[in-house]
C-alpha cells in the first residue's frame, strides 16, 4: 500500500495540474470571449435591421392587400 506521504504527493501534483488548467481556462476566456458591454452595439444594430426588414415586409403585404 502507498504511504500517506506518497498519497499526499500524488494529491498535491493533481491539485497543481487542476490549478494550472483553471488558469489556462481563465486566460482563454479573457482573450477569446466578448463581454456584454462590447456586444451591445452589435445587438442593437442587428435588432434594428431585423425591425426594418419586418416592417418593410409588413408594409408591402398591406400595400398588396389595399391595391386589390
Distance CA 38, CA 50 (A): 20
Tens digit of pLDDT for each residue in 5-43? Answer: 899 999 999 999 999 999 999 999 888 888 888 889 999
DSSP assignment of 18-60, as one string? HHHHHHHHHHHHHHH---HHHHHHHHHHHHHHHHHHHHHHHHH
The ranges assigned to domains in the chain are 1-33, 36-68
Distance CA 62, CA 68 (A): 10
Tens digit of pLDDT for each residue in 36-62? Answer: 888 899 999 999 999 999 999 999 999
Is-above-0.75 flag for pTM?
no
Per-residue confidence (pLDDT) for residue 1, from 0 to 100: 58
Amino acid at each position: 500500500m502507498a504511504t500517506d506521504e506518497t498519497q499526499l504527493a500524488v494529491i498535491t501534483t493533481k491539485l497543481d495540474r487542476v490549478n494550472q488548467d483553471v488558469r489556462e481556462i481563465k486566460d482563454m476566456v479573457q482573450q477569446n470571449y466578448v463581454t456584454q458591454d462590447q456586444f451591445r452595439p452589435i445587438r442593437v444594430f442587428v435588432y434594428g435591421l431585423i425591425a426594418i426588414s419586418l416592417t418593410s415586409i409588413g408594409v408591402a403585404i398591406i400595400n398588396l392587400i389595399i391595391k386589390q
